[in-house]
Amino acid sequence: MGIEVHLFMNMMNGLVWGLIIALIALGLVLIFGLIKILNISHGEFYMLGAIFGWYLIQYTQNFWLALVLSPLLVAAIGLFIEWGILRPTEDKPIKTLIVTLGISLILQYTVYWFYGGSPQRIVEPFQYHLTLFGSGYSGYRIFVAILSMAVIALLGLFLQKTRIGLWIRAVKQDQEMAIAVGIPTKKVIMITFALGSFLAALGGILAAPIFSVDFLMGLEILPTAFMVVIIGGPGNLMGALGASILIAELEGISSVFVSPTISRVLSLVLMSIVLLKRPEGIFSRARR
Amino acid sequence: MDSILNLQEIHTFYGKSHILHGITLAVHENEIVCLLGRNGVGKTTTLKSIMGLTPANRGNIFFQGRDITRIQDYLIPRLGIGYVPQGRHIFPDLTVRENLKIGIVGNKVQVKTYEEIFSYFPILRERLNQLGGTLSGGEQQMLALARALVPNPTLILLDEPTEGLMPRMAKLVVEIIQKINRTGVSILWVEQKLVTVTEVSHRIHLISKGRVEYQGTPGELIQNREIQLRYIGVKV
Amino acid sequence: MFLVTEIIALSLFAMSFDLIYGFTGMLSLGHATFFGTGSYIFTLSILHWQSNLWVSLLLAIIGSAIIAWVIGFFAVRARGTNFIVITIIFSLVIFYLSFYYKSITGGDDGLPLKVPDLGLGFLSISIHDNPMANYYLVLAIVSLCYLFYWRLIASPMGRLFLAIKSNEERTQYIGFNTLKYRLISFVISGAFSGLSGALYSMTTHYTNNKLLHWTTSVDVVVWTIVGGAGTLIGPIMGAWIFTFFREFISFHFKQYPIVIGMVLIFFIIFVPQGILGYLLGLIRRERK
């Protein structure tokens, strides 16, 4: 395989992976933008998406059913966690962050209890391969990229065009004023949290056939997701989308030439530079 | 005259500090009532307590005869109370259109059409697709008033609506407020400067340290130099 | 005996974490990095250079101080949530690095260690085969560190740390370079965490990359919050309670982190001042 082909493959993989990260990071940023709380347990929703997916496929042998059901289940869990556990401390971001740390431990080891410590695989739901540049490329990955883009576009439409979307944007900008015009802010936060969990879980089940499924996968995604938040700018959705693809491509392309570890360090360096030079994120408009 | 809003002995705490020490006041139908006082005496907190944003710890608030003291915060504006806060609090990243639309909640409300809104605020017609944050101060004030007006409220709470505006713009805002009032909307107006409201308000309450210390008509207050000096200082 | 010595070594880690969280108001979720770095430098310097015990301990302190300075350089520029995110990202990336460079770190399996004899001029004492000597050495060093911390928090600089915790902006206005003092606090904490890691390895005769892992970072947070942040002694109590708890329960119930997560959430919501803080509060009320 020539270097161009290798490079092209890595760019394709980078795009697919970047879009999956975008799903996860968009959820994270959506929640952060609304309640200024960094959800440490967000990675666990990604993990749960894959785990539930694995169980559902075991019982039903149907990937597509799992693809729909698993994120919905996780969204319900997210809804319950926000309502039942996070709400009492929600006005104190650092406290809530520590609470989400506790939730993270509970979710990880509950899964470990039932699912065990060893990774499992989900088979790609279809074996179709495209021929690109003379070598095969997984049709499933192309499907993942297209579906992710569609979901992200739908999310944009939802936020721009629907009433709840308008409410979410209003609560993000000025929570007190939102209450004063009659928006049920608490419900909006709950829905947003569920939506964020849904997106992370969708990322989880989509990623499951590409990687493998284990109870620590949420922890593995965490540094990448957080780097996206910093590079894209906290609370900035378009920034998160751009930063996800940027990081995935950076790591994908550079890993053709250097070891994956070094490419990991490269994105860390990128993040550090952004932090010093543009603490608002590289995609932020100049603000008033 | 029936009273539309009635505050009875309202006590509000912010954290551990006691801000309102038993505010009692009433707003009657079609009235413009003004709350006057220096900085930090509890004027804004009074409005926020009515809106449920800093809920009253003791006392009762009645709106159209109904006790709204313990009602969920977001339901209060839906009863027909509009709120125009200090500093305007336009949603900066929403368009003017979205800022107007956002006040339409619940299903029973008869809302004002854009045309009705534009009859008060013609400038907004041209700004409809602009982001709220890009408007000038005066335009933002117009938008804040318009946003409160859309769901057809029976009472509007104003928090220093002319603060920081050029004199010409301030005059225009006052005229619009009077025009709104003439359509039967009652107004509770918080203000620091007596001159701003002497012409327009029907009754004035003076607040100091979280209590209503004096009330009367603007005419009576203008005669009473001693009261003016004690509660509003030199800002006459 | 080993367990007691181990916990005394961990107590130093707990105090060091308390310096930045309880006293300077910075929540680091990546403190395992310094603990692990200290442990590795200690071990590697003995394995590769046959260095003497004092030199190895000193190297561990210096090495972790340098790492703490580099991470701190970026981290202290960020406030609140961003600070936490940066500590998480750096520590997770460093953990993954330790995985990739298995040949150096021993990865999961770790590295066994033969602790050199303790030289006291004319006298040489074996530490490796003499648990009592090991115990007294660790106890002596940790006690000295406790005295140091105790003096530090009573000093003008210690009061400055507290001032930064309660209101950084105001501290800045009265003319202090708060960035500098936050960095100093971070580096001191990192250096002694490293020493703690070295003492831990000296006692257990081995090191592995678990010491760098997220769970180690989480442990110290839990000790501090449950014990009582900002008291020095509280976090030590936390270390004792949880290390014993883990020692006895982990045989019967491998999923014990679930319990830790629940305890953490319980304390954050209901007893945010921690056990010792709660008791001190009771005593103060009695006096009134």
**What distances in angstroms separate CA B211 from CA B41, B42, B137, C267, one per listed residue?**
8, 8, 32, 40
Q: To 10 degrees, what angle do helices C233-249 and C274-287 make?
A: 130
Q: Kindly report which listed range (A96-105, B189-198, C8-17, C109-118) carries the lowest average pLDDT score.
A: C109-118
B73 and chain A: CB distance < 8 Å anywhere? yes
Across the interface, do C262 and A102 touch by the CB < 8 Å criterion?
Answer: yes
pLDDT one-digit tens code per residue, C38-60: 999 999 998 888 778 888 899 99
Contact A233, C81 (CB under 8 A): no
CA distances to A144, C247, C248, C268 from C239, rounded to whole Å, are: 46, 12, 14, 17
Between B197-211, C15-29, C244-258, the lowest mean confidence (pLDDT) is in: C244-258
- Give exposure, B83-119, as e/b (b: 16+ Cβ within 10 Å): bbbeebbbbbebbbebbbbbbebeeebebbebeebbe
Residue C27 lies in a domain: yes
Residue A242 pLDDT more than 60?
yes
Contacts of B76 in chain A (CB under 8 A): 182
The candidate with the shortest Cα–Cα distance to B94, out of B132, B145, B45, is B132
Angle at B75 between CA B73 and CA B76, to 5 degrees: 75
Q: What is the mean pLDDT of residues A42-48?
A: 96
- A287 band by pLDDT with thresholds 50, 70 and 90: very low
A173, A177, A185 ranked by CB distance to B93: nearest: A173
- What residues contact residue C211 under an 8 Å CB cut-off, 6+ apart? C32, C35, C36, C39, C40, C197, C200, C201
Task: Quickly list DSSP for C117-136.
Answer: PEEETTEEE-STT-HHHHHH
Neighbour count for residue C106 (Cβ, 10 Å): 20
According to DSSP H, which parts of chain C are helical?
Answer: 2-18, 32-49, 53-75, 80-100, 102-105, 131-154, 156-166, 168-173, 178-204, 214-227, 233-249, 257-270, 274-287
A contact residues 103-122, partner C, Cβ 8 Å cutoff: 103-106, 108-110, 112-113
Site of tokens 């010093």: A276
- Residue predicted with more confidence, A218 or C124: A218
CB contacts < 8 A, A to C, total 113
If you search the block for the tokens 């607040």, which residue do you land on? B207
pLDDT of residue A41: 93
pLDDT at B61: 95
Does position A257 have pLDDT exceeding 90, yes or no?
no
CB A239 within 8 A of CB A283: yes
Residue B106 has a pLDDT of 64
ipTM: 0.91
Name the residue in chain B with its Cα closest to that of A183.
B74
- Secondary structure (DSSP) of chain B: --EEEEEEEEEEEETTEEEEEEEEEEEETT-EEEEE--TTSSHHHHHHHHHTSS--SEEEEEETTEE-TTS-GGGTGGGTEEEE-TT----TTSBHHHHHHTT--SSS--PPPHHHHHHH-THHHHHTTSBGGGS-HHHHHHHHHHHHHTT--SEEEEESTTTT--HHHHHHHHHHHHHHHHTT-EEEEEES-HHHHHTT-SEEEEEETTEEEEEE-HHHHHH-HHHHHHHHTT--
Contact between residue B183 and residue B225 where contact means Cβ atoms under 8 Å apart: no
Residues C201-212: what's their mean pLDDT? 86
Q: What pLDDT, in 10s, does the model give residues A99-155?
A: 999 999 999 999 999 998 888 888 888 888 877 777 778 889 999 999 999 999 999
Spatial neighbors of B72 by CB under 8 A, at least 6 apart, are B52
What's the rounded Cα separation, in Å, for the pair A34 and A185?
Answer: 10
Q: What is the pLDDT of residues B186-228, one digit of tens each?
A: 999 999 888 888 888 999 999 988 899 888 888 888 888 777 7
β-strand partners of B10: B23
Cα C156 to Cα C69, C162, C166, C167, C185, distances in angstroms: 22, 10, 15, 16, 13
The verdict on a CB contact (< 8 Å) between C255 and A229 is no
Task: Answer for the pair B161, B177: CB distance below 8 angstroms, yes or no.
Answer: yes
Asked if A276 has any chain C CB less than 8 Å from its own CB, the reply is: yes
Tell me: pLDDT of A1 over 70.
Answer: no
* Residue A183's pLDDT band (cuts 50, 70, 90): very high
Residue C214 has its nearest CB partner, among A219, A264, A271, at A219
Q: So what's the pLDDT on residue A206?
A: 95
pLDDT at site A285 = 59
Order of strands, sheet of B203-208, starting from the edge strand that comes earlier in the sequence:
B81-84, B155-159, B186-191, B32-36, B203-208, B211-216
pTM of structure: 0.90
Number of domains observed in the structure of chain C: 1
The pLDDT score that the predictor gives to residue A107 is 95
Domain that holds residue C192: 2-213
3-state secondary structure chain A: CCHHHHHHHHHHHHHHHHHHHHHHHHHHHHHHHHHCCCCCCHHHHHHHHHHHHHHHHHHHCCHHHHHHHHHHHHHHHHHHHHHHHHHHHCCCHHHHHHHHHHHHHHHHHHHHHHHCCCCECCCCCCCCEEEECCEEEEHHHHHHHHHHHHHHHHHHHHHHHCHHHHHHHHHHHCHHHHHHCCCCHHHHHHHHHHHHHHHHHHHHHHHCCCCCECCCHHHHHHHHHHHHHHHHCCCCHHHHHHHHHHHHHHHHHHHHHCCHHHHHHHHHHHHHHHHHHCCCCCCCCCCC
Contact B3, B26 (CB under 8 A): yes
Report the alpha-carbon distance of residue B221 to residue B199 in Å, rounded.
12
Residue of B nearest to A170 (CA): B91
C-alpha A67 chain-centroid distance: 15
Q: Which amino acid is at A179?
A: I
Lowest mean pLDDT among B180-189, B220-229, C222-231: B220-229
SS3 label, residue C116: coil
Smallest CA-to-CA distance from B201 within B223, B214, B219, B225 is with B219
Domains of chain A, by residue range, sit at: 8-117+126-277
Residue B8 vs residue A235, higher pLDDT:
B8
Which pLDDT band holds residue A286 (cuts at 50, 70, 90)?
very low
Does A279 touch chain C if contact means CB atoms closer than 8 Å? yes
End-to-end C-alpha distance for chain B, whole angstroms: 31
Chains that touch A (3 or more CB pairs under 8 A): B, C
pLDDT at C188 exceeding the cut of 90: yes
Res B125 pLDDT > 70: yes
Confidence label for B236 from pLDDT (cuts 50, 70 and 90): very low
Q: How far C124 CA sits from the closest chain A CA (Å)?
A: 43
Q: Is A95 in contact with A37 (CB distance < 8 Å)?
A: no
B neighbours by CB contacts (3+ pairs under 8 Å): A
The CA-based diameter of chain B, rounded to the nearest angstrom, is 50
Average pLDDT over residues A259-273: 80
Q: Is the pLDDT of residue C21 over 60?
A: yes
User: Chain B window 93-152: which residues touch A at a Cβ cutoff of 8 Å?
Assistant: 93-94, 98, 101-103, 105-106, 133, 147, 151
Tokens of A66: 């799992």
Chain B environment of A169 (Cβ under 8 Å): 91, 93-94, 98
Indicate whether C66 pLDDT > 90: yes
Indicate if the pLDDT at residue B109 is higher than 80.
no
Q: Which residue has the higher pLDDT, B232 or A143?
A: A143
- What is the 8-class DSSP label of residue C115? P
**Confidence label for A190 from pLDDT (cuts 50, 70 and 90):** very high
pLDDT, averaged across chain C: 87
A91 to chain B, closest Cα gap in Å: 13
pLDDT at B229 over 80: no
Mean confidence (pLDDT) of chain B:
89
CB A64 within 8 A of CB A70: no
Average pLDDT across chain A, whole number:
89
What is residue B54's predicted lDDT score, i.e. its pLDDT? 92
Query: Is the distance from CB of B190 to CB of B158 less than 8 angstroms?
Result: yes
What pLDDT, on the 0 to 100 scale, is given for residue A288? 32
CA distance A42 to chain C (A): 13
Number of other CB atoms surrounding residue A84 within 10 Å: 9
Beta bridge partners of B58: B11
CATH annotation of A8-117+126-277:
1.10.3470
Segment C142-155 shows an average pLDDT of 90
The backbone region for C80, taken as left when phi is positive above 0, alpha when psi lies in -120 to 50, beta otherwise, is: left
Across-strand partners of B191? B36
**Burial of C271 (C-beta count, 10 Å sphere; 0-12/13-18/19+):** middle
First to last CA, chain A: 51
Q: How far is CA A20 from the centre of its chain?
A: 6
C276 found inside a domain: no
Q: Please state the rounded mean pLDDT for residues B153-166.
A: 92
Residues of chain B with pLDDT > 70, as a percent, come to 96
Is there a domain that residue C274 lies in? no
C282 in any annotated domain = no
Cβ distance of B133 and A288 shorter than 8 Å: yes
- Round to whole Å and give the CA distance between B164 and B132: 17
Q: What is the pLDDT of residue B235?
A: 47
Interacting residues of A198 by C-beta distance below 8 A, sequence separation 6+? A27, A71, A72, A74, A75, A78
